[in-house]
Chain A
Amino acid sequence: MGPTGKPTLAVWKFASCDGCQLTVLNCENELLALTDRVQIAYFPEAMRGQLEGPYDLSLVEGSITTAADAERIREVRRQSRFLVTIGACATSGGIQALRNFKDVTGFISAVYARPDYISTLEHSTAIADHVPVDFELRGCPIDRRQLLEVVSAFLAGRRPNIAAHSVCIECKRRGTVCVMVAHGTPCLGPVTQAGCGALCPTFARGCYGCFGPMEEPNTSSLAGHLRQLDMLDRDVARAFRTFNANAPAFRKEADAHDT
């Protein structure tokens, strides 16, 4: 509890685009109501100053890519009663985990003229690879309604009600015609966790997997269908290797097609 007697909330950033913590500020209708219920103790993107820990709930955005950050996340864990990761970077390493499949030295010299000024780890890794995590919220970016559910659940002392089924279920619920069956559009919906509201198919494109693998995904079966849609192996590898490239199920399927 903070000095006001309200539970305290801290928002932490590691390697990321800020889009998931922006989602906190994008709760325009709920933001001021939320700050009536919780004391925001640390949120540098939105405020100066910081209340001393420990914190009741920490939201962690971003992946671990430097030795200093690997140390900092341990301190965040020590200071947090509950630690929830928000988004694909914190949950699976993010788009920057594409470096995990290449030689990082080559990456540094491709971007920076003076590689000797840069300190970085070889791999971009999820928060759970470093410290115990109480809940992982998926998405690149996270969904605003799911974020409010997770924060409400932890404040109420219950488990968040977040479905682990596939995007296909959301398409069926919305009555969206299957883009793969009807139009032969490659779609990762059958293996991707729901949460976005099946956005891409409603915009006539296939799901590109930004919420990461669902529970028990049959990626090899889907990969077979994608090959039948005339996708080359390298295109299948690319499809699985995006914003959740380092999530085990997607990593394995991409590796199987990386020829």
Chain B
Amino acid sequence: MTHERRLTVEGLARVEGEGGLEVTVRDGKAISMTLDIYEPPRFFEALLRGRSFREAPDITSRICGICPIAYQMSAVQAMEDACGVTVGPQIEALRRLIYCGEWIESHALHVYLLHAPDFLGYESGIALAQDHPKEVERGLRLKQVGNRLIEVIGGRSVHPVNERVGGFHRSLRKDELNDLAEDLRWALDAAIETARWVGRFAFPDYERDYEFVSLTHPSLYPIIEGRLASSRGLDIAVREYEDHFVEEHVARSTALHSHIKGRGSYLVGPLARYALNFARLSPLAQKTAAEAGLSEVCRNPFQSIVVRAVEIVYACEEALRLIEAYEPPDPAYVEVEPKAAVGSGCTEAPRGILYQRYQIDANGDILEAKIVPPTSQNQRAIEEDLGGVVERSLDLDDDALRVRAEQTIRNYDPCISCATHFLTLQVHRE
């Protein structure tokens, strides 16, 4: 006699955007797992056509209110690549600095308000704050330090206004950044405390041999620089991305799924960056990771919360280093003249690599746009994890199994708003 069990979650909570999930298990084997993305489509790639190449950073930032800088940065890189322009080291450093703010803000939001409640049995960060006020207040202040870094350089934390093709609209004076240093020194200690706190959580016993994909760079932990590499030998320039990665459109989803040609699913984000770039982390970040129970490669997706905390440590230290070494870009931007060409850009959004490619004409009008956000690249890996985790958790009752499945998805800090171009959990047990 076959025994089938189906699990369903409609309207996933504590993710950015709208989606659900459905898993069917027959005789102890997950036979179908779907992450449904029912967020309404917004057609960014189409509405960019006919717009000026200079408008791409402001328009693409509206794909996501949580990681607008990632969209702006990949867009400006792509346009500068198309037009054959390189910006100097001062502009690159200021870009890296504002991006550190986005890592701190986005990771702190996810660790404290979205993910930690799963490990401690609360329905929200706000409920968590009733019993753990000290921790939640620390998380909120950490998030605020990240936001403030973005506000000082970019004007505001959601859809900042200072980024442009070629650099920044206005350069920052050194004294404008000095106030941030004191906040960041507090944040660095708070980030180390965060890693100690989350390192003590109970993690479900689950590991998988992912193909990790991230940017890599000879000397820097990657944020906006480097080549694309994987844990199975891929090593390519950003412009070769589409030779190796394909997107396909699946039914019941407004997001597109990605896979590596000839192999299948892959994983982007904190676990991938950490595994491929451990040696480029600062000694303090490495030590924090070891003390929080991580080895140099982490294959348990539930421990991604610890890796995020380690990346907050790194981002705070890196921001302090960049402020210390800061020289204002002068001029604030390089003049970029359009030419008929194709250009691509790829940066490490908090959730993983974000790729964009544009074709523009000699007037700078966008003829074609392609945008591949991290969540759509992770979607297959998320579904495979769902199957794997549910198979190992069948002793749980429906409610507990549903919570476990949701937690599995939140391991990825999925951004459904981004992927639309993500989720309801339905578990069917028949």
Identify the A interface with B (CB < 8 A): 13-23, 25-26, 28-29, 31-32, 35, 40, 43-49, 65-66, 69, 94-96, 98-99, 102, 104, 106-108, 110-114, 117-118, 120, 124, 140-141, 196, 199-200, 202-205, 208, 210, 235, 238, 242-243
B247-255, B316-324, B338-346, B383-391 - interface stretch: B247-255
The residue that A28 contacts in the complex, of B47, B55, B141, with Cβ under 8 A, is: B141
- Residues of A near B253 (CB, < 8 A) are 117
Given A19-B65, A48-B14, A118-B41, check contact A238 B113 (CB 8 Å): no
Can you name 14 A-B pairs with beta carbons within 8 Å?
A: A13-B18, A23-B158, A48-B406, A49-B124, A65-B41, A69-B40, A95-B42, A106-B46, A108-B46, A110-B46, A111-B44, A117-B253, A200-B161, A202-B155
Encode contact with A along B1-40: 1 for CB under 8 Å, 0 otherwise.
Answer: 0000000000111111110000000000000000000011
Chain B contacts to A: CB under 8 angstroms: 11-18, 39-47, 49, 51-52, 55, 58-59, 62-66, 68, 109, 113-114, 123-127, 129, 133, 136-137, 140-141, 143-144, 147, 155-159, 161-162, 164, 168-170, 248-254, 256, 332, 406, 415, 417, 421
Q: Is the CB of B123 within 8 A of A99?
A: no
CB–CB B141/A98 < 8 A: no
When C-beta atoms are compared, the residue in chain A nearest to B105 turns out to be A26
Contacts of A108 in B (CB 8 A): 41, 43, 46
Q: What CA separation (Å) do A16 and B44 show in the bound complex?
A: 12
A45 neighbours in B (Cβ, 8 Å): 13-16
Known: A48-B13, A99-B43, A118-B254. A113 touches B248 (CB 8 A): yes
Do B155 and A199 touch across chains, with their CB atoms under 8 A apart? Answer: yes
In the complex the two chains form, what is the Cα distance from A26 to B151 in whole Å?
Answer: 12
A112 vs B256: C-alpha distance when bound (angstroms) = 8
The reply to whether B65 and A141 contact each other, CB–CB distance below 8 Å, is: yes
Whether the pair B126, A140 counts as a contact (CB closer than 8 A) is no
Query: Do residues B45 and A110 form an inter-chain contact, with CB atoms below 8 A?
Result: yes
The CA of A49 and the CA of B59, in the complex, are separated in Å by 34
Contact between B249 and A117, CB atoms less than 8 A apart: yes
A188 to B255, CA, bound (A): 35
Given known A32-B129, A44-B11, A46-B126, contact A203–B169 (CB-CB < 8 A): yes
Most buried by B among A16, A25, A28: A28
Write the chain A residue with the least CB distance to B416. Answer: A18
Question: Of A17, A26, A32, A111, which one neighbours B43 at CB under 8 angstroms?
Answer: A111
Question: Given A18-B16, A47-B127, A141-B65: A205 and B109 within 8 A (CB)?
Answer: no
How many angstroms from the CA of A102 to the CA of B168 in the assembled complex? 32
Sorted from nearest, which 9 A-B pairs have the closest CB atoms? A19-B65, A47-B124, A110-B46, A107-B46, A141-B158, A204-B170, A19-B158, A28-B144, A98-B47
The residue on A at minimum CB distance from B370 is A111
Q: Which residue of B lies closest to A15 (CB)?
A: B40
**A65 surroundings in chain B (CB, below 8 A):** 40-42
Contact, CB under 8 Å: A96 / B42: yes
Residues of A within 8 Å of B125, CB to CB, are 46-47
- Taking A48-B14, A117-B253, A242-B59 as contacts, is the C-beta distance between A111 and B41 under 8 angstroms? yes
Known contacts being A107-B46, A204-B169, A238-B52, is A47 close to B123, with CB within 8 Å?
yes
- How far is it, in angstroms, between the C-alpha of A108 and the C-alpha of B46 when the chains are bound? 8
Contact B14 A46 (CB under 8 A): yes
Q: A207's closest neighbor in chain B, by CB?
A: B161
B250 CB contacts on chain A under 8 angstroms: 117
Asked if residues B62 and A17 are in contact (CB atoms below 8 Å), the reply is: yes
A208 lies within 8 A of B58 (CB): yes
Q: Is the CB of A19 within 8 A of B249?
A: no
Q: Is the CB of B16 within 8 A of A40?
A: no
Question: Which residue, of B41, B42, B158, has the highest number of chain A Cβ atoms within 10 A?
Answer: B42
Cα of A203 to Cα of B94 in the assembled complex, Å: 15
Once the chains are docked, how many angstroms separate the CA of A95 from the CA of B164?
19
* Contact between chains at B249 and A40 (CB < 8 Å): no
Instruction: Quote the shortest CB–CB distance from A11 to chain B (angstroms).
Output: 12
With a cutoff of 8 Å between Cβ atoms, the chain B residues found around residue A102 in the complex are 46-47
Q: Say yes or no: A22 contacts B65, CB within 8 Å.
A: yes
Within the complex, the shortest CB–CB distance from B131 to chain A, in Å, comes to: 13
Looking at the assembled complex, report how far the CB atom of B139 sits from the nearest CB atom of chain A, in whole angstroms.
9
In the complex the two chains form, is A18's CB within 8 Å of B156's CB? no
Q: Are A95 and B11 in contact (CB under 8 A)?
A: no
Judge whether A107 and B43 touch: CB under 8 Å. Answer: yes
A19 adjacent to B136 (CB under 8 Å): no
Contact of A14 among B40, B64, B137, B332 (CB under 8 A): B40
Report which of B17, B47, B127, B248 forms a contact with A96, defined as CB distance below 8 A: B47
List B contacts of A120 (CB < 8 A): 40-41
- Shortest Cβ distance from B99 into chain A, in angstroms? 17
Supplied contacts A19-B68, A48-B14, 14 more A-B pairs, CB within 8 Å: A17-B64, A19-B64, A22-B16, A26-B143, A32-B133, A45-B15, A46-B126, A47-B14, A48-B123, A96-B43, A124-B42, A203-B168, A208-B58, A208-B161
